[in-house]
Structure 1
């Protein structure tokens, strides 16, 4: 029996006629994605997709490497890589399997019950400085599932779908490079200073 997928809905919190309400309607009708809140509007994670979050510097390096991704958003100094629902739960085990477990990486995941800032969709008004933006926007009228990185077997991608293992490995590598770079320049925070560094 297939679990029921929650039906998309416009944000009940957005004031009718506002830019947030219009954006929430577009997310619901064009993508089938649920939203909540206002100023800023939030995308609900866990039902159709999860989000891997990492420093923007590391995220840009992942994109330059040519690793296959799904939609990618940028919100301030953080980048979000959309992955198949359930990817957030897989992240700790994947990092252990890839031998990144003992290394403190600034790589997190937002899954069931989470929310991320909803960037304006292409053609929508509202590009305020510091606001979230799509670097690789989602394709309208396409279900997010098959095009999002998923766990299809350790290191073996099924068909044309992006592979979560390869994406997590690339993201972990780039997060570690950023961490080493910051350690060399003395930018590590107090929390990060107590964590082991792995040198390659």
Structure 2
């Protein structure tokens, strides 16, 4: 008796477990800002942070902002000056780590609420008012894109956020866990260069006007750095970037370029 040979059925491949998307959803991002940080957001997608409530924003060219942070960071110790004030971990500097974000070629420096209104008069007082500077302030009624990434290497899983205490690891896995580190494909999106810290009031870490502008660039007694010194340094670097680019353009086309 000849029997038929059953057809071979190919093995069914195992069903992989669903992977958590690398990019946090808008709901996750909004939950993190509103619940872990207590920051108000603006209705709608993508998620935007309400400005003028807890903080204002200085918007500057990223090149100038990095140069300003490097200049202000000198004196923190070997290897830390390139990070800017507060990026290097260590005791005794809890008030210097004010949050900083970048998006494309722009840097956003978080400063004390009300600083946007002070900026025009402050620039005049510092004798920068006569020049057109690529420096803007966002204040009450404004908003900024909510960064959903932290610059790679600053908040890897289990790492400590810059400026946190030596015994305060990031609460990864909890509701207050930090946003994920930057991955490929996030170019052009807003990211935290210096992220805010869950459980810490942001107002205490922000640059603000001190009485008569006497607070030093690195703060006074662990407090936030002085807004006058910050604006002066940023304005200087913004102007230097403008002059440098102008000189480069002059060399490229051979035509003289006049600066006001």
TM superposition score normalised by structure 1? 0.80
**Whole-angstrom distance in 2 between the partners of 1:153 and 1:186:** 42
Cα deviation for residue 195 of structure 1 reads 9.1
Cα deviation for residue 161 of structure 1 reads 1.8
Cα deviation for residue 141 of structure 1 reads 1.2
**Whole-angstrom distance in 1 between the partners of 2:258 and 2:226:** 29
The 3-state SS of whatever aligns with 2:224 is coil
**Whole-angstrom distance in 2 between the partners of 1:23 and 1:30:** 10
Partner of 1:124: 180
Which structure 2 residues correspond to residues 1-150 of structure 1 after superposition, within 5 A? 19-65=25-71, 66=73, 68=85, 70-120=98-148, 122-124=178-180, 127=183, 128-150=186-208
Task: Decide whether aligned partners of structure 1 residues 195 and 84 sit closer, same or farther in structure 2, where only a CA change above 3 A counts.
Answer: farther
TM superposition score normalised by structure 2? 0.62
What are the ranges of 5 or more consecutive residues in structure 1 without an aligned counterpart? 1-17, 188-193
The 3-state SS of whatever aligns with 2:57 is strand
Determine whether 1:182 maps to 2:182. no
1:23–1:120 CA contact under 8 A, matched in 2 = yes
Cα deviation for residue 124 of structure 1 reads 3.2
The 3-state SS of whatever aligns with 2:211 is coil
Task: Decide whether aligned partners of structure 1 residues 37 and 138 sit closer, same or farther in structure 2, where only a CA change above 3 A counts.
Answer: same
Partner of 1:5: none
2:41–2:49 CA contact under 8 A, matched in 1 = yes
Q: Please provide the CA RMSD for this pair.
A: 2.2
Cα deviation for residue 40 of structure 1 reads 2.9
Deviations 1:155-180 (A, max 9, x none): 21254221101110010000000011
**Whole-angstrom distance in 1 between the partners of 2:258 and 2:36:** 44
Based on CA coordinates, which of the two structures has the bigger radius of gyration? Answer: 2
The 3-state SS of whatever aligns with 1:80 is strand
**Whole-angstrom distance in 2 between the partners of 1:74 and 1:58:** 12
Deviations 1:110-148 (A, max 9, x none): 000001111115443775221000000011111111110
What are the ranges of 5 or more consecutive residues in structure 2 without an aligned counterpart? 1-23, 74-83, 86-95, 150-177, 251-256
